[in-house]
Amino acid sequence: MNAQRTTTPRERSALKAATRQLLGLFGKHEAACTVTRVNAPTLSRYGSVSEPEHFAAIDVILDLEADIGSPVVTEALAHAQGYRLVRDERAGANADMDALMDALAGTIGAAGDFHATMAESLKHRIVTSEEQRAIAVRGEKLIHAIRLALEQINAAGGGQGGRDGGRG
């Protein structure tokens, strides 16, 4: 271990948290490992605070973020270096109707999953810690789906807040 690292424990902890957030979007590590080269226990170590020297390789992060469609860890890396990650408007400017419909369908599905999880958890009037985690995961997935849908809507409108230029 090199004691002369230029990153701080707090910065590395933030990367661990971002990794856990990214993996949480998959629900289970087993689902995440189907889109990258490492297995579920390895993915678990990448997000574990008890494994402070284990971080995901950049190709693994790229696989995971590309599959989810959100640069969760990449944003954390940019922030740690004093930068803000901004989507390239040219990359989303040619969004087609199929991508928009897929994003909206994803939002509706994620909202349904979130509401079903909430309803199941609340019907007994006691929410267990396992149910709290399930609600949090479904909530994060819903937020992610909404962000993707908004990106597609903005891309379809040329980044102007929709077809009416954000006026309506």
Instruction: Choose among 134, 73, 145: nearest CA to 105.
Output: 145
Give burial (CB, 10 Å; 0-12/13-18/19+) of 56: buried
The CA-atom distances, in angstroms, between 62 and each of 19, 59, 92, 98 are 12, 5, 18, 24
Res 162: pLDDT: 36
Q: Which residue has the higher pLDDT, 93 or 19?
A: 19
Amino acid at site 128: T
60 CB-side CA count, 13 A? 20
Say if CB 25 and CB 68 are below 8 A apart: yes
pLDDT of residue 94: 53
H or E element at residue 134? helix 129-156
Domain residue limits, the chain: 9-80, 92-156
Q: Which two tokens stand for residue 96?
A: 């087609």
* Distance in angstroms (rounded) separating the CA atoms of residues 15 and 147: 21
pLDDT at 165: 38
CA distance 126 to 100: 38
What is residue 156's predicted lDDT score, i.e. its pLDDT?
Answer: 67
Structure confidence by residue, pLDDT tens digits, 25-77: 998 899 999 999 999 999 999 999 999 999 999 999 999 998 888 899 999 99
Architecture field, domain 9-80:
Orthogonal Bundle (1.10)
Return the pLDDT at 166: 40
Residue 130: which H helix or E strand, with range?
Answer: helix 129-156
Read off the pLDDT of residues 94-149 as tens digits, 9 standing for 90 and up. Answer: 556 677 788 888 899 999 999 999 998 888 888 898 899 999 999 999 999 898 88
Residue 164 has pLDDT above 60, yes or no: no
Determine the average pLDDT of the residues in 151-162. Answer: 59
> Residue 81 pLDDT > 50, yes or no?
yes
